[in-house]
Structure 1
Amino acid sequence: MKTAFKYVLFGSALSSLALVATPSFASPDAPVIALANSFYGNTWRHQMVEAFEDAAEEAKAAGQIADYIVLNGDGSVVQQNSQMAELILKGVDVIAINAASETAVNGMIERACAAGIIVISFDSVASAPCNYQLNFDFLGYKAEQAEAVMQMIGGEGNVIVVRGVAGSAPDEAMYSAQQSVLEKYPDVNVVATVYGQATASVAQSAIANVLPSLPRVDAVLGQGGSDDVGIAQAFVQYGGEYEGNMPIIEGGGGTDFIRWWAEANAENGYETISMNTTPGIGGAAFWLGLSLLQGAEAPKQMLMPVATVTNENLADYADVAPGRIISPSYSLEWVQTNLLSN
């Protein structure tokens, strides 16, 4: 019997593979499930990979898989296509892919499907017809959140839009949802649009760079990941008219932001709303792949829930651990109940 393996890739070159065990090919009775993650540069993606690995370790300990592979990329299509080619050559059984592009990786996904590999794109999905899509309703929840913020500022004022990971399907969908809401409010002016890469440090720098040239900002529409706390820090450090009078900043589920919000709420009644996609989807994608490999059936397109924090339930999250994204863990049982066909 052939044995399988695990390796984890960080960086941009396939030559930098760190092999944890002797590499070999997968086989039907010793399955290998792989994660091809296009981008690893923010808290959300780190936590998503952790969720996948936790599920994989559980399955491995139970003898359900021989091993697993995790490939983390730099956000480029070229690198992810190379990673997909590597996984196809290794003959893995399942590939869960958080895609660098909705369309540009479709060719490699079709090749994987033709080789008999189950492919699940999730979070940032690909449109190849053969792959399963495990997605979030980015359009729905971001429109709902933007609408709530517009109500908080009375339908008028100056707004900054902070976009996410450039070129990704979630960024395009969330930005489109925000624009659809903004179009309904002619008295709201978008005074700046920047890219925050769903990362605290990048978002903070982007906001700090534009603030000196802007009029008073009343709200900031972000995308999550951990951009929320970076945005807040930029305004806090700028000070001036924002001291004790912060704009309404959309929360993206970052626990550092939630903790800051809870403190500001206690001090001066600061209010906002946080809605976020859950990085626990990494575990759900793993269990879905294993279930499909074992003969279960699922629809081609599936949706995951989002996490919501409002002023009403803020106290429930005031003591969350720092440096995380609010997310449940998704078990095999959850997947069987909520994603698989009945």
Structure 2
Amino acid sequence: MKKIVSVLISVVMCIGLLVGCGSSNGSSSDSSKSSDSEGKYKIAVSNAYMGNDWRQLMIKCLEVAATKEPYKNKVDLKVVNSENSAEAQASAIDALVEQGYDAILIDASSSAALLPAINRAIAQGITIVTFDSVVDGEGIYTVQTDFETMVEAWAKYLVTKCGTGAKIAVDTGMPGSTNGNTIYEAAMKVFKENNMNIVAEYASEYADGVCQEQLASVLAANPDLDGIFCQAYVESCYTALKQAGMDLIPCAAFDTNLGMETALNNDMDVIIGNNCPGIGVIALDNAVKILDGEKVEQDTFVTSGLFVNDKDKNIDVGLPTTVIEEGVNCWENQVDGLDWPVLPDDFKTLTLTVEEISDFSK
């Protein structure tokens, strides 16, 4: 059963032992099996790679959260990065099983390639929560952004701003990425329904430099382009358009502090999606609840924040939008790669401040 975080349901089960790694509602763990001398749960994070600001910020959020209540005296957290190698990540998961971890949180490099290692962990009674780039399977818990709904809103915004039949360039994201494919397919569905003319596709690989390089070629071949659907960042689109000597056109892209500042200061026609970097904290929270013997739904969906300039606040995209505001959701004196908010408003277990996580790239 799928759920939205805003309607999170946790029912405390009045038993001390959660049995049966083959049970229908996911993997189970004995809440008394922690081997730490202080009685803490041993929880590991297996992260596919650290190649961009978002990943670094995601790990920083987890590390800070682990030092705060309710996790401070309950969780011993370890982070293992695998340089985007599915083989290395699978080996890391096997090693964590041998080291006796109670739960493993996984941001996956490949859903198919990691499944055997994950199944081996589940067979040993280890709780597995995959997040962000998830792996689906029996006994696997997932926490992921509701990209389909978010992207439908992006595409509707571009249809409204550019007009039916307009010429659009579409970013396919990272080749082979599950999230990238989900985003692309959801966008194309809306574009097809509105007869949008997709004149170019490119792969930003979620990287600013790659995106600018790819967009430069797209803009050179399509100087009459009407809009950009981008899986990278606002600043990537802005810089590419300016370097091409073109006027700004409507864009949809992901959130960074620099992108929000760029959108605000240039009054851009843009809708910005926030893939909360604290999604790993939500995965941690679910893992602790499971180890405590609480029931957690197998699939958790996080609703993305959407940001627009004040002039576009009344455009109906099917989801609520928030106006970009200096000092509220972007800051001229903060690091460029900050993606705020890091947690959705309806996550109440703990809060993380800008000051606590802004040094993520150090």
TM bucket by the smaller chain? 0.7 to 0.9
CA distance in 1, matches of 2:241, 2:181: 26
The structure-2 alpha-carbon separation of the partners of 1:170 and 1:333, relative to structure 1 and needing over 3 Å to count, comes to: closer
Q: Tell me the CA shift for residue 165 of structure 1.
A: 2.6
**1:1-342 pair list within 5 angstroms:** 27=35, 29-58=39-68, 62-65=72-75, 67-186=76-195, 188-224=196-232, 227-239=233-245, 242=246, 245-265=247-267, 270-312=268-310, 313-315=323-325, 316-319=328-331, 321=334, 322-329=336-343, 334-335=348-349
The structure-2 alpha-carbon separation of the partners of 1:61 and 1:31, relative to structure 1 and needing over 3 Å to count, comes to: closer
Q: How many residues align?
A: 300
Q: Which residue of 2 aligns with 1:20?
A: none
Q: Tell me the CA shift for residue 223 of structure 1.
A: 2.1
CA distance in 2, matches of 1:142, 1:44: 18
The structure-2 alpha-carbon separation of the partners of 1:162 and 1:246, relative to structure 1 and needing over 3 Å to count, comes to: same
Task: For residue 193 of structure 2, give the secondary structure of its aligned residue in structure 1.
Answer: coil
The structure-2 alpha-carbon separation of the partners of 1:154 and 1:60, relative to structure 1 and needing over 3 Å to count, comes to: closer
Provide structure 2 residue ranges, at least 5 long, that are not aligned to the other structure.
Answer: 1-32, 311-322, 351-362
Contact 2:249 2:269 in 1 (8 A): no
CA distance in 2, matches of 1:88, 1:61: 21
CA distance in 1, matches of 2:155, 2:297: 30
Task: For residue 223 of structure 1, give the secondary structure of its aligned residue in structure 2.
Answer: strand
CA distance in 1, matches of 2:264, 2:252: 14
The structure-2 alpha-carbon separation of the partners of 1:286 and 1:48, relative to structure 1 and needing over 3 Å to count, comes to: same
Contact 1:262 1:318 in 2 (8 A): no
Provide structure 1 residue ranges, at least 5 long, that are not aligned to the other structure.
Answer: 1-24, 337-342
Residues 236-274 of structure 1: per-residue CA shift (max 9 Å, x gap): 1221xx1xx212111311111110111111xxxx32211
RMSD across aligned positions (CA): 2.3
Q: Tell me the CA shift for residue 185 of structure 1.
A: 2.5
Q: Tell me the CA shift for residue 232 of structure 1.
A: 1.8
CA distance in 2, matches of 1:71, 1:318: 30
CA distance in 1, matches of 2:187, 2:260: 22
Q: Percent identity?
A: 24
CA distance in 2, matches of 1:298, 1:101: 24
Contact 1:120 1:131 in 2 (8 A): yes
The structure-2 alpha-carbon separation of the partners of 1:332 and 1:131, relative to structure 1 and needing over 3 Å to count, comes to: farther
Contact 2:234 2:272 in 1 (8 A): no
Letter in 1 for 2:212: Q
Q: Scaled by the length of structure 1, what TM-score is found?
A: 0.81
CA distance in 1, matches of 2:137, 2:69: 28
Task: For residue 135 of structure 1, give the secondary structure of its aligned residue in structure 2.
Answer: strand
CA distance in 2, matches of 1:170, 1:297: 27
Contact 2:234 2:262 in 1 (8 A): no
Residues 22-43 of structure 1: per-residue CA shift (max 9 Å, x gap): xxx9616342111111132122
Contact 2:263 2:309 in 1 (8 A): no
Q: Structure 1 stretch 54-63 or stretch 156-165: which is displaced more?
A: 54-63
Q: Tell me the CA shift for residue 290 of structure 1.
A: 1.6
Task: For residue 317 of structure 1, give the secondary structure of its aligned residue in structure 2.
Answer: coil
CA distance in 2, matches of 1:77, 1:176: 24
Q: Tell me the CA shift for residue 233 of structure 1.
A: 1.2
Residues 57-88 of structure 1: per-residue CA shift (max 9 Å, x gap): 325983212x2211122223222111111111
The structure-2 alpha-carbon separation of the partners of 1:75 and 1:165, relative to structure 1 and needing over 3 Å to count, comes to: farther
CA distance in 1, matches of 2:176, 2:214: 18
